[in-house]
Every structure is written in C-alpha cells, then in structure tokens.
C-alpha cells in the first residue's frame, strides 16, 4: 500500500507533542499506552466530555449511559451489549441494513449523482432507529430533528464555565431543548406507546422492562440516536473519501471479501477517528507511565486523551503510522482501531454495528463506480470534538452490484 501520509482530518491548531504534558489543570495525553491507562482507570475518573459535567443528575432515575460511571454504568453496558454484538448485528439486522443500503444506492443511480453526507445521514438514522426501536415515525423527519440538536455554541472544557457566557448557555439550552421536545413528541412517545402495548426485541423495550421512566428513556434515545447518527454519518463520508482518492485502496476494497473490507475500514478510522478527543475528570490521584517515566495526575484534574495522536503513536502502531496499511503488525491486545472507539468502561458498544453498516453502504456504492464531482469541506464540532464532512458530491455511472449473500454481504 502506498505509504504517503493520508490523514485528511488535520487541525492546524492541534499540538502534536509532547507525548504527555500538563497546562492549566489539564493533562494532554498523546501516548497510546498512557491514554489506555487513563481510560481503564475504573472508579478513578468520570466522563467529562460532551459537556457531561453540566448535565443535572437529579432528574433521572437511571443516569444516561454515555455520561454515567461506576457500577450502574457497567450494569447498563452489560444489559445493552447483546443488541450490538457482531453476531446479532449480522443475523438480526443484516438484511435490513443491506436492503436499506441497496435502496439508497439504487436511488442515487437513478438520479445519476448524490451528496454522500445526506445519504449517510438518512441511512445511519434509519439503522439506529431500527436497533433502538424508534420505528413508529418516518426516519427522514427524525434525522432533521436530530441534526437540530447539534446547533450549539462552542465550548472549551479547559476554560471557566467551559468557555461559554451565560447568554451562550441559555442559547445552548434553547437550541437543545426545542429539538429534543420535538424528538420526544414525534418519535419517542409513539415508540413508547407501541412497546407499552407489546414488547419487542429492541433497546427501547429493554428500557421499559428495566423500569426506566419517560425522562430516562428520552435521554437514552437522544444518546443512541445522536451517537449513531453523528459518528457513523461522518465515518461513511470519510471512508468513502479515502477509498475514492486512493485508487489502489479503493480497488482492493471493492474486490475484497467482507472480513478484509472491515479490516480496511478499521485502519481508516484509526487514522481519521471521528471523535478526536476524549475527556475524563480525575477523582483520585492516578499514576500513569510512559517510556519508563511516571506521571501523577492529581484529583480534580481534567484529562484530554488526544485520539488522533494516540492512534498514530509510533511506539505502538509501528512503521509509518500516518499511512493506511490494513493488516499492520500490532502488539498483542492492541485494537486495530486504536482508541477510535474509546477503551475501558466507555468503550463504544456500537463499534460492530458502525463498521458493518458503513461497509454495507460503501461496498454497494463502490460497485457503482462513483466519481467525485466535488471534494468535501471539513469543519469541526468541539462539543463532540469531531470533524464534519459536507458536500462530497458523487456521480454514479453503472448499475452493477457487488456479489452478496444474505446476512453476510
């Protein structure tokens, strides 16, 4: 594979060194091993990203899974893990995902072109809605409501009041609460009513059976809906951009079996993780080591795990870590995706689903031999610390389809 550096999501204002540094009560961790020590420091840290520390805890019987910690969080994860296990994704949702992907590609073929971020938005929301159980309303309208939730003022977690003025916090509340209220009325409430009458095998039915009240269910649906939509939408666009601008990689992907394609997608998300920073708050002193040197993080300090840097740490990722090299030699226990899906207690349970649905769409899309009409623009969302790719316009010329078998792609 061509070893020319291929990272596309590059921030000019992002410091690339040293491996560990400390400034203004914030630790910045760019060492893979040190970062994993932080993320696995169970009961010593709590979630500090996604403005988690500003979310009130008194309104919920069950604290939201994305921002909860400790034994309750661990129990929540175990209970929902079965909905996202690789075998379940393939056997239970494979046909739905594959059929949805093919329908979207067929529509794009009929029109001769598509804007991929729009296709990816509606596709990822439809898949997430099926798994979560938000199936009583049109998913295209649901997607618009979920997108509205992310029109938020910028934040700086290292600054007092997260860098927001009082007016900006009010604006953030308004911008968030209006689409959440619409999401509840149009999407969540009808789904709750349907599953109150008859349970189904989905996340929402599980929450009802576990005694979650309406507020608990709403915030979990917002969490799953936005996480499934935002991260997968961006990754689909990023992976396609890589595959189309690197002909060798794209041709290899299009001809490869599914297992190889998934390894290629894992390498792409390692290099260009959607979420570039993971934040934790230390609730006791934590000692981490890197290159034989110890560092003590004090109770109360904020920790920034710099994922783009940890994922290209040459001490762990080997030769030429800034290139895409599927099948690169990694040490035992090192995940092929690096920390792109986090690690420890907050490791993303939706990783198998995200990779499967991305592959299902891109494999069919590449079979149509797309051509880039316009390169996407990159902007940054510092609430989730992720990139946004918009405007990747493609033309599609052929109606050929990849060879597939049901539920295995």
- The predicted model scores a pTM of 0.90
> Given this model, what pLDDT does residue 58 score?
57
> Given this model, what pLDDT does residue 358 score?
98
> Given this model, what pLDDT does residue 3 score?
45
Strands 26-29 and 302-306: parallel
CB atoms within 10 A of CB 38: 23
Host H or E run for residue 186: none
Closest CA to 278 of 48, 87, 2: 48
Distance between start and end Cα atoms, the chain: 25
> Given this model, what pLDDT does residue 401 score?
64
CB atoms within 10 A of CB 91: 12
- The segments of the chain whose pLDDT lies below 70 read 1-5, 50-77, 399-409
> What size, in residues, is the chain?
409
> Given this model, what pLDDT does residue 151 score?
80
Could you tell me if 319 and 196 are in contact, meaning their C-beta atoms sit under 8 angstroms apart?
no
> Given this model, what pLDDT does residue 389 score?
96
Domains of the chain, first to last:
20-395 (1.10.630.10)
> Given this model, what pLDDT does residue 284 score?
94
Could you tell me if 260 and 350 are in contact, meaning their C-beta atoms sit under 8 angstroms apart?
no
> Given this model, what pLDDT does residue 5 score?
47
7-13 long-range contacts (CB < 8 A, ≥24 apart) are 7/271, 7/272, 7/308, 7/312, 7/322, 8/238, 8/241, 8/242, 8/272, 8/378, 9/238, 9/272, 9/276, 9/308, 9/378, 9/387, 11/276, 11/380
> Given this model, what pLDDT does residue 61 score?
57
Host H or E run for residue 135: none
Could you tell me if 204 and 213 are in contact, meaning their C-beta atoms sit under 8 angstroms apart?
no
Distance CA 354, CA 288 (A): 31
Distance CA 336, CA 150 (A): 30
């Amino acid at each position: 594979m061509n070893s020319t550096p291929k990272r596309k999501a590059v921030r000019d204002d992002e410091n690339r060194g040293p491996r560990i540094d400390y400034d203004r009560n914030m630790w910045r961790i760019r060492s893979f091993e040190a970062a994993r020590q932080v993320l696995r420091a169970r009961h010593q840290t709590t979630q500090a990203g996604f403005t988690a520390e500003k979310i009130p805890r008194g309104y919920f019987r069950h604290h939201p899974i994305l921002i909860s910690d400790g034994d309750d969080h661990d129990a929540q994860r175990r209970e929902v893990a079965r909905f996202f296990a690789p075998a379940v994704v393939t056997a239970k949702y494979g046909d739905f995902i594959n059929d949805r992907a093919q329908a979207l590609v067929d529509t794009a073929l009929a029109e001769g072109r598509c804007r991929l971020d729009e296709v990816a938005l509606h596709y990822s929301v439809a898949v997430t809605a099926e798994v979560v159980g938000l199936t009583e309303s049109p998913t295209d309208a649901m997607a618009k409501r979920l997108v509205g939730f992310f029109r938020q003022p910028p934040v700086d977690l290292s600054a007092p009041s997260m860098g927001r003025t009082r007016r900006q916090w009010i604006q953030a509340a308004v911008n968030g609460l209006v689409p959440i209220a619409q999401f509840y009325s149009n999407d969540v409430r009808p789904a709750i009513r349907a599953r109150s009458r008859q349970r189904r095998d989905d996340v929402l039915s599980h929450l009802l059976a576990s005694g979650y009240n309406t507020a608990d269910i709403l915030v979990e649906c917002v969490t799953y809906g936005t996480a499934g939509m935002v991260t997968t939408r961006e990754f689909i666009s990023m992976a396609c951009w890589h595959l189309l601008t690197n002909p060798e990689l794209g041709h290899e992907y299009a001809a490869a079996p599914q297992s190889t394609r998934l390894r290629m997608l894992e390498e792409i998300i390692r290099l260009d993780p959607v979420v570039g920073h993971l934040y934790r708050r230390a609730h006791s002193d934590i000692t981490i080591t890197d290159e034989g040197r110890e560092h003590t993080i004090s109770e109360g300090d904020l920790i920034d795990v710099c994922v783009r840097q940890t994922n290209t740490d040459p001490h762990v990722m080997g030769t030429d870590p800034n290139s895409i090299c599927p099948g690169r030699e990694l040490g035992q226990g090192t995940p092929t995706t690096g920390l792109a899906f986090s690690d420890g207690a907050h490791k993303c349970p939706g990783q198998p689903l995200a990779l499967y649905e991305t592959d299902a769409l891109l494999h069919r899309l590449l079979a149509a031999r797309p051509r880039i009409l316009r390169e996407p623009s990159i902007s940054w969302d510092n609430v989730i610390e992720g990139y946004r790719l918009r405007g990747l316009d493609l033309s599609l010329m052929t109606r050929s389809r990849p060879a597939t078998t049901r539920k295995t792609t």
